[in-house]
Amino acid sequence: MASRNPTLHFNIIMVSRSKRIAHRGGPGHSRSTSQSTGTPSRESSTNKSLPTSSPKKPSPKKALKQRANRHPRGRFGTGDTMCSAQRMVDMQRQDAIYLSQSEYCSAPPIGLELVHMQIVIPGDTLVPKALRNLQVFDEIRREHRVWITREENSETCFDVSATHTKPLHVALNAINQKIHDMRLSEESLTAHYFVQSPEGDKESTIGYEIGKRPVVKGAKNNSHYSKYMLDALVIQFAAALPPALKTLKFLRYLTMHVDFGHLNISAKPKTAGKRLSVEEFSRALNLYSSRGRGATIQTEMPNLEVANELLSSLISHSEISKENAEATLTHHVQFEVDKQTVSADLLDREGSVMATSSKCTQTEGHPPLDWIVSAPATYMDWNLRVDSRPNLVGDRSGQLSEATANFVHSFIFKIDGEDCAETDTPSKEADGPPRRFKLPRWQTAAHGNLAQVSSNFRTKSCARLQYRDTPYEIQLSITQHWAKLPVSAKPDRLSWSVSVSSIHWEEALSECKSNESSREFEGALLNRLWPGEGSLKERLKEFLECVFSIQTAIVELQS
């Protein structure tokens, strides 16, 4: 973030015919340049060899007579007269140039002697979601006459090829600027950072290091939130919400949820120290909102025993759940094929759990709204996200093809008496409502062509619990992860997560009308998202009390 233009670090390897030159560069090494190969565009092209003088124009009277005698079909700019020879040659030249430039939008030809350059973007957090489709580089490919391809199974490594070295250097600056612009357009306009300020913040110092979570130095985790924390965040949310909701006006099919996790610093200003005051830390987080994201929240946590204890604690917590509350358990399976997500519900049928209601979806590139709240005085951070609901792909109903559906329905799981905990502690109140997770175990390996191409296989077990007498719902889930199709019941890794959503949020977001004025839209949407009497601050306070109560319950188990 110290450099104005490029904010990405590149590892560049240049291979020029028989010579190999290694070059490592960063933002300071990528020189800004205005050089261009001078490739003519398709829209404007001239030929100096052709005569530039135009024929003599007829007199005004003669022109009026010719126009009056012309057939109506040839009037109003749709004349049936033939183009001039110069115009026809010019159009042919433009088409030839466009077709010749189109060859750069594919893989480089085999057998052609080329100079190669490799660009490596370190870390997935710095890769814009729009880079999943390399068509975003088509303009650069045509203008600078370079081939841009991606290594197989790599989202962060690109190969750039050209017939000479000069267009490679010019294309590097163009690619760098393009990625920088995409990051700003995807993140800085939607991501905002807030600080859940601790009491006595004037004397507090916060650790601020790359690869670590910001925490208050010399202080223990505070499990209980204070009125000061709540009121300060209510004021910030009430001021920032109305203008932020403008980004949702023309979007459809949105979902809204709160996720808990740990904030991780992946990049920081060079001038920032390792210990900051609360005010300095707030300013540092604000830079991420305007200059691109350098801090992300990790919502997957590894200690599964905490998930079991948290589920039992939430059910019996009088300030969170209703009396005699029961958690609803559901199971789902997901995997990816050709960058599309195939998902299905799991239902228990006579002891065997099988997949049903399968569908294929494709997720949007980035969230339209992402608010991250850092809580350095407690154990748990959180964020408020508004995502585009995954798009159904395939046929109009989003159902899978017959081969894919049969592949999914061949999955067999079993939910037995073993729970997810690593210890052998028996479940409390075994005859009552479920207070511990029971995970589906993989039983039978599926066969078929899709078994070789499927990846990121996971099963998700979710427990849902209503928060008091409110529309808010707590979702606690455990996910089993496999890199590919499972070959055994033991997953590659396990994780758990907790989130909050509302049964009315999705309906409220889908009722947005683009023909409303900005002020009417903001007021109506705020009333639908957080209904009730009183001002916006009073309604937000009730919502944040729900978030803080769950945050406190998690911190109490961790301390």
Domains observed in the chain: 10-42+89-186 (no CATH), 189-264+296-558 (3.20.100)
- C-alpha 308/C-alpha 38 separation (Å) is 64
**pLDDT score, position 338:** 72
Question: What's the one-letter identity of residue 387?
Answer: D
Predicted pLDDT of residue 16: 41
Closest CA to 394 of 469, 342, 453, 456: 342
Residue whose C-alpha is closest to residue 149's, from 103, 101, 106: 106
Per-residue pLDDT of the chain (559 residues; tens, 9 = 90+): 444 444 444 444 444 443 333 333 444 333 333 333 344 443 444 444 434 444 455 555 554 455 555 544 444 444 455 678 887 777 777 777 666 667 788 888 888 888 988 888 876 666 776 777 787 888 888 888 899 998 777 778 889 999 888 988 899 999 988 887 777 655 555 778 899 887 666 678 899 999 999 999 876 655 566 677 888 899 989 888 887 777 777 676 788 999 999 999 998 888 888 999 888 898 888 888 766 668 889 999 988 888 989 998 888 887 888 777 788 889 999 988 777 788 888 887 766 787 877 777 776 666 678 899 999 988 899 999 988 777 666 544 555 677 777 778 888 888 865 455 444 444 444 445 557 788 898 887 656 666 667 788 999 999 999 998 888 999 999 999 999 888 888 999 999 999 999 988 888 887 765 556 566 777 888 888 998 888 989 999 999 999 999 999 888 887 6
**What is the distance between the alpha carbons of residues 489 and 335, in angstroms, rounded to a whole number?**
16
**10 Å Cβ neighbour count for 458?**
19
Supply the pLDDT for residue 81: 58
What are the residues facing 277 on neighbouring strands?
205
Distance CA 390, CA 364 (A): 6
Chain-centre distance for alpha carbon 453: 23
Cβ pair 372, 266 in contact under 8 A: no
Q: Dihedral (C-alpha) 42, 47, 48, 50: value to the nearest 10 degrees?
A: -150
Note the pLDDT of residue 184.
64
Residue indicated by tokens 């030159």: 21
**210 phi and psi angles, rounded to 5 deg:** -70, 135
134 neighbors 105 (Cβ within 8 angstroms): no
Helical segments of 103-186, H only: 138-144, 165-183
pTM as predicted: 0.65
The pLDDT value given to residue 263: 94
Tokens at residue 207, please?
A: 């650790």
Task: Give the helix/strand (H/E) hosting 289.
Answer: helix 278-291
